[in-house]
């Protein structure tokens, strides 16, 4: 068994690999050139979800009169909102650091260069260099936002999500380029805080990588929030004026708008560390190539998380870490498959998905059956007044479930039912046979499964 392990990067993949390795007897050293916890803890998952929880509270207060509660939202203190977000980040960062300390993982602050699978050179933050020798190395250096030609980030007026999450003052208006996961979450946050939002999406619908029915819910959601959406459109020019940004849009309506800030959220790209030129491990999209066991083309060198370009999600990185460490320890492990990786968007209602979309299933299978059920028709939906959302089941041959899509409060938690169903190869009939508690939103999943092979009782 390997005895020493060097990990580059302390994000979700890196720190989990470090803890798992240490718990299994490896001597683990970790190299980090920024802050422990990576983008997820410091600039992504945690701060955005902290702000989304605030946005949901604001929406709840504003909608309270529908429930007979006479309440008025007097003011939103932006600085306190951002301070609450920072507390959440610090708590999460402290937890990650505590795990590393508890498991005796040595954290080296500096920038790593991979000389070979067993040798890493570090430019130390405190000055000087250090060479580390180890039996195995894991690259877990993550990703960064993609900028557009002529619309490069300055994090003052043209923002990445990182810049948006660090604003010191709430902008009066913001144009968001990109109607994907990040774009919708940022739109939800700042719209609730009082910012006028415009979304410009190049494709013909929001959330173009998700199932069309979820896109439909997203579009209704944005309309309810009074967010202007331009699909089939693109930003062709951003000009910085004396007081605001002038943005030219081409597409569904050719126009020029003026906004305080522009947020570009068109995706992320892998960020490999500096590599010795002898290491031929970079793919066509700039990713570090890794197989299903997270092995790169170079023996004893692994890559996990966003840097591999495979499913850029924190929980994907968690799984990558588990697979890589098990392989290093010589344990048998199933390889990585992104088919059963759930994805979630933390808007209100939440959106979640696992497996194939309806379109993908129809391209792959000769037989596809679909079942849907509206959230408003569940007992929980009618009792809470939740009018928006649905559950959708996509089944292939023999009604085996191949895709599950959900829009409702708590969808990012409930999607685990779908993940388990796909993991176990369940059919729609088997899923529908499970007893679901009443009244809950989860009942929509059961009803949708029944609608794959017969009309459910509550469909009429």
Catalytic machinery residues: 438
Residue 201 CB coordination number (10 Å): 26
**Spatial separation of the C-alpha atoms in residues 69 and 62, rounded to whole Å:** 10
- Placement of tokens 């007893």 in the chain: 435
- Which H/E stretch holds residue 91? helix 78-102
- The alpha carbons of the chain give a radius of gyration, in whole angstroms, of 23
**Burial class (CB within 10 angstroms; exposed 0-12, middle 13-18, buried 19+) of 192:** buried
What is the C-alpha to C-alpha distance for residues 146 and 165, in angstroms, rounded to an integer? 16
- Sign of the C-alpha dihedral, residues 192, 193, 196, 199? negative
Please enumerate in sequence order all residues whose Cβ is within 8 A of that of 413, keeping only pairs 6 or more positions apart, or say none: none
Q: Which two tokens stand for residue 83?
A: 């301070």
Q: Is 199 helix (H, G, I), strand (E, B) or coil?
A: strand
Q: Are 190 and 226 spatial neighbours (Cβ–Cβ below 8 Å)?
A: no
Q: How many CB atoms lie within 10 A of CB 350?
A: 21
- Residue 375 contacts residue 350 (beta carbons within 8 Å): no
Backbone region of residue 300 per phi and psi (left: phi > 0; alpha: psi in -120 to 50; beta: other values): left
What kind and span of H or E run contains 123?
A: strand 119-124
For residue 282, cis peptide bond before it (omega within 30 degrees of 0)? no
Cα 369 to Cα 291, 422, 452, 455, distances in angstroms = 33, 15, 6, 13
The two three-digit tokens of residue 208, written as one number: 């173009």
Backbone angles phi, psi at 174, to 5 degrees: -150, 135
For tokens 């819910």, what's the residue?
217
10 Å Cβ neighbour count for 27? 16
Q: Which residue from 217, 237, 239 is spatially nearest to 177, judged by alpha carbons?
A: 237
Verify cis geometry, omega within 30 degrees of 0, for the bond prior to 410.
no
């Amino acid at each position: 068994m390997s005895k020493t392990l060097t990990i580059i990067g302390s994000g979700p993949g890196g720190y989990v690999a470090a803890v798992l390795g240490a718990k299994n007897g490896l001597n683990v050293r970790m190299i980090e050139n920024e802050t422990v916890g990576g983008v997820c803890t410091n600039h992504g998952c945690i701060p955005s979800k902290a702000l989304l929880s605030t946005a949901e509270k604001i929406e709840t207060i504003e909608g309270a009169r529908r429930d007979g509660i006479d309440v008025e939202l007097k003011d939103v203190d932006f600085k306190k909102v951002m301070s609450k977000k920072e507390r959440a980040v610090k708590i999460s960062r402290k937890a990650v650091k505590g795990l590393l300390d508890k498991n005796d993982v040595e954290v080296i602050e500096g920038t790593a260069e991979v000389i070979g699978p067993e040798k890493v050179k570090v430019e130390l933050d405190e000055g000087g260099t250090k060479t580390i020798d180890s039996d195995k190395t894991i690259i877990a250096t993550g990703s960064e936002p993609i900028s557009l030609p002529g619309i490069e980030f300055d994090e003052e007026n043209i923002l990445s999500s990182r810049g948006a999450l660090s604003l010191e003052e709430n902008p009066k208006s913001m144009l968001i380029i990109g109607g994907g996961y990040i774009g919708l979450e940022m739109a939800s946050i700042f719209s609730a805080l009082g910012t006028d939002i415009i979304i410009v999406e190049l494709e013909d619908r929001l959330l173009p990588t998700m199932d069309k029915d979820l896109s439909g819910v997203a579009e209704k959601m944005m309309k309810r929030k009074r967010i202007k959406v331009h699909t089939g459109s693109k930003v062709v020019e951003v000009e910085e004026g004396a007081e605001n940004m002038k943005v030219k849009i081409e597409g569904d309506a050719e126009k020029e708008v003026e906004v305080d800030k522009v947020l570009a959220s068109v995706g992320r790209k892998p960020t490999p560390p500096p590599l010795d030129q002898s290491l031929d491990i970079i793919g066509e999209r700039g990713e570090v190539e890794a197989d299903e066991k997270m092995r790169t083309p170079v023996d004893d060198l692994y890559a996990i998380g966003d840097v591999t370009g495979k499913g850029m999600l924190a929980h994907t990185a968690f799984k990558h870490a588990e697979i890589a460490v098990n392989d290093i320890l010589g344990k048998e492990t199933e390889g990585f498959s992104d088919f059963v990786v759930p994805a979630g968007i933390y808007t209100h209602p939440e959106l979640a998905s696992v497996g194939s979309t309806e379109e993908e299933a129809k391209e792959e299978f000769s037989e596809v059956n679909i079942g849907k059920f509206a959230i408003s028709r569940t007992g929980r939906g009618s009792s809470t007044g939740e009018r928006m959302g649905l559950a959708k089941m996509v089944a292939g041959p023999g009604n085996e479930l191949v895709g599950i899509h959900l829009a409702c409060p708590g969808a990012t938690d409930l999607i685990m039912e779908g993940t388990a169903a796909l993991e176990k190869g369940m059919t729609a009939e088997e899923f529908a046979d499970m007893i679901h508690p009443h009244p809950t939103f989860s009942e929509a999943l059961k009803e949708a499964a029944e609608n794959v092979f017969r009309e459910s009782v509550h469909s009429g």
